[in-house]
Chains A and B, each alone.
Chain A
Amino acid sequence: MTTSETLGDELTRQAAHIGAKVAGPAAGEVDRDARFPTEAFDALRDAALLSVLVPPELGGRGASVGQVADVVFELGRHCASTAMIYAMHQIQVASLVRHGRSAFFRDYLAELSERQLLLASATTELGVGGDVRTSVCTVERDDAGAVHLEKMAPVISYGEHADGILATARRAPESPPNDQVLVLCQAPGLTLEPISGWDTLGFRGTCSLGFRLVADGGSDHILDDAYADISSRTMLPVSHILWSNVWLGLATSATDKARHFVRTEARKKPGVTPPSALRLAELIAQLQRMEELVRGTAQRYDRQCDDLDTLAGMGFAIAMNSLKVSASTLVVDIVNRAMAICGMAGYREDSPYSLGRILRDAHGAAVMVNNDRINSNTAQMLLIHKDD
């Protein structure tokens, strides 16, 4: 067994424990009240799970994206909001680890590990039509080199609970909308003024309110690489991999309920295979498709993440887009199948087989970065891409 496998096993065990003992028991209340899953994040901080992607020399564990994906999956089986917040945080950490090479960001990652800081993201903006690869807001610099930023963000997930926010902005006031940089915004130079609430069907605990973000900081708060490269090499693939693991957690949780329901039915009439068992066989085949897709793509990223040439290729971008579209579609299909198996017991809100929250969360998958937008982007690339 390699050291890496031991670390992966340890992280998965810790995540499974926190999911079952802390996040799961609070999930109903987090959903009902649309509140931040405080107890889960206290536990994740206590276990130092917020810094696992950070290299050991900076105080982290040097985990791979695939290992973090397994943590996200374990959390997703119990509380989708906890898993999604954890996933979004790790997407930001991955961006800093891979693109923040300066002394400032190395020091910041050490601080993140030491204090278990939680990072959020402000990429969407009012006025860009949902296209995160363009910005209206811009980095403004004064004569002393200090940086100022103002952004109207329709959503900043857990913005009020984060210790730092990575925001996209145009490089300079004269820059075109797609020449973007990523800026670390943090207290005391950060103010968030809510402009909209978060009363949604699912992922209610992510508290993804809209904010007017105003940030001031040093010029060293801007990441070294252009956002275009951060996005294509890290932020987009890691997002789709980690989100897919949240959804795989939901699908697995729904499947567990369906399995249990069928077994209970079977025990009532030994010797007779209940009709729902056939539906379960169909569901399991779908879950297997989803597992292989989600885990296989995470492993592929771990293999290729340092091969900049591959990451820059259209084939890679198309594969990551397709992962998001497929996984977000499969999760709804799987939860629907579980609902058909559990019947009224799944439909009820007061039964151990209740699937309501999972179904509502599952529908978030296709709309967070709309599948139509992703397919349009893939369609565009397919006009020129050759699979050879």
Chain B
Amino acid sequence: MDETIRTILAEHGHLPVEVAKIGDEDDLYQAGMTSHASVNVMLALEDEFDVEFPEVMLRKSTFESVAAIRVALGELTGS
């Protein structure tokens, strides 16, 4: 799962740094992900994992790190 998340971040996160250099808990917004880019990350995650983030999950905090995204996806996919 982590690898897929990182691939999506690399493709849609428009981060000024290499995704491989971002730690599991590092703040993606502080690393340069804009709110515009984060929406594209959300869309790609929904498509890739065949889930829909409910409104309560559409928060900055849900997508603030690789770890946070993994937890959110875990809740939705039940894994």
Distance in angstroms between the alpha carbons of A388 and B61 in the assembled complex: 19
Main secondary structure of the interface of A (DSSP, over half): loop
Tell me if B35 is interfacial: C-beta within 8 Å of chain A.
Answer: yes
**Contacting B58 at CB < 8 Å: which of A134, A177, A179, A384?**
A384
Query: Once the chains are docked, how many angstroms separate the CA of A296 from the CA of B33?
Result: 34
Contact call B55/A385, Cβ cutoff below 8 A: yes
CB distance from A139 to the nearest CB of B (A): 14
Report A-chain residues with C-beta under 8 Å of the C-beta of B52: 386
User: In the complex, what's the smallest C-beta–C-beta distance from B39 to chain A, in angstroms?
Assistant: 5
User: Per-residue CB proximity of A125-136 to B under 8 Å, as 1/0?
Assistant: 000000001100
Asked if B43 contacts A228 (CB within 8 A), the reply is no
Write out the residue numbers on chain B whose beta carbons fall within 8 Å of the beta carbon of A384.
39, 42-43, 46, 53, 58
Do the beta carbons of A179 and B29 come within 8 Å of each other? yes
CB < 8 Å neighbour of A315 from B16, B39, B55? B55
B59 is an interface residue with CB less than 8 A from chain A: yes
On chain B, the residues within 8 Å of A309 by CB distance are: 56, 59
The contact string, 1 if C-beta is below 8 Å from chain B, for chain A 200-240, is 00000000000000000000000000101000100000000
Contact A314:B58 (CB < 8 A) given known A228-B29, A383-B39, A384-B42: yes
Q: Are A386 and B54 also in contact (CB < 8 A) when A178-B34, A179-B29 are? A: yes
The reply to whether A385 and B58 contact each other, CB–CB distance below 8 Å, is: yes
Question: CA–CA, A175 to B33, complex, Å?
Answer: 11
Question: With A178-B32, A178-B34 as given contacts, are A387 and B55 in contact (CB-CB < 8 Å)?
Answer: yes
Q: Which residue of A lies closest to B52 (CB)?
A: A386
A301-322 toward B: CB 8 Å interface, digit per residue (1/0)? 0000000010011110000000
Do the beta carbons of B32 and A177 come within 8 Å of each other?
A: yes
- B contact patch SS: loop
Choose among B29, B33, B36, B55 the residue that contacts A313 (Cβ–Cβ < 8 A).
B55
Query: Does B79 make an interface contact (CB < 8 A)?
Result: no
- Total contacting residues, chain A, CB less than 8 A: 25
For the complex, count residues of B whose C-beta is within 8 A of A: 22
Q: Which residues of A contact B30 (CB under 8 A)?
A: 171, 175-176, 179, 226
Nearest B residue to A388 via CB reads B55
- Chain A residues with CB under 8 A of B34: 133-134, 178
Which A-chain residue is minimally distant from B30 (CB atoms)? A179
**Quick check: B29 and A380 within 8 Å, CB to CB?**
no
The residue on B at minimum CB distance from A380 is B39
Q: How far is the CA of A232 from the CA of B59 in the complex (A)?
A: 11
Partner of B59, one of A176, A312, A381: A312
For A133, the chain B residues whose CB sits under 8 A away are: 34-35
Q: Chain B residues near A134 (CB, 8 Å)?
A: 34
Mark out the residues of chain B between 2 and 56 whose CB falls within 8 Å of any chain A CB in the assembled complex: 16, 29-36, 39, 42-43, 46, 52-56
Closest residue on chain B to residue A131 by CB atoms: B34
Contact A314 B32, beta carbon cutoff 8 Å: no
Known contacts A176-B16, A384-B53; decide if A228 and B60 are in contact (CB<8 Å). Answer: yes
- A222–B29 Cα gap in the complex (Å)? 19
User: How far is the CB of A240 from the nearest CB of chain B, in Å?
Assistant: 17
- Give the residue name and chain of the A residue nearest to B38 (CB): A384
List A contacts of B33 (CB < 8 A). 178
B3 to chain A, nearest CB (A): 23
- A/B interface sample: 8 pairs, CB < 8 A: A134-B34, A175-B30, A178-B34, A313-B58, A315-B55, A380-B39, A386-B55, A388-B55
B residues whose Cβ falls under 8 Å from a Cβ of A: 16, 29-36, 39, 42-43, 46, 52-56, 58-61
The 9 closest A-B pairs by CB, nearest first: A176-B32, A312-B59, A314-B58, A179-B30, A384-B42, A386-B55, A178-B34, A176-B16, A380-B39
- A residues contacting B by CB (< 8 A) are 133-134, 171, 175-179, 226, 228, 232, 309, 312-315, 377, 380-381, 383-388
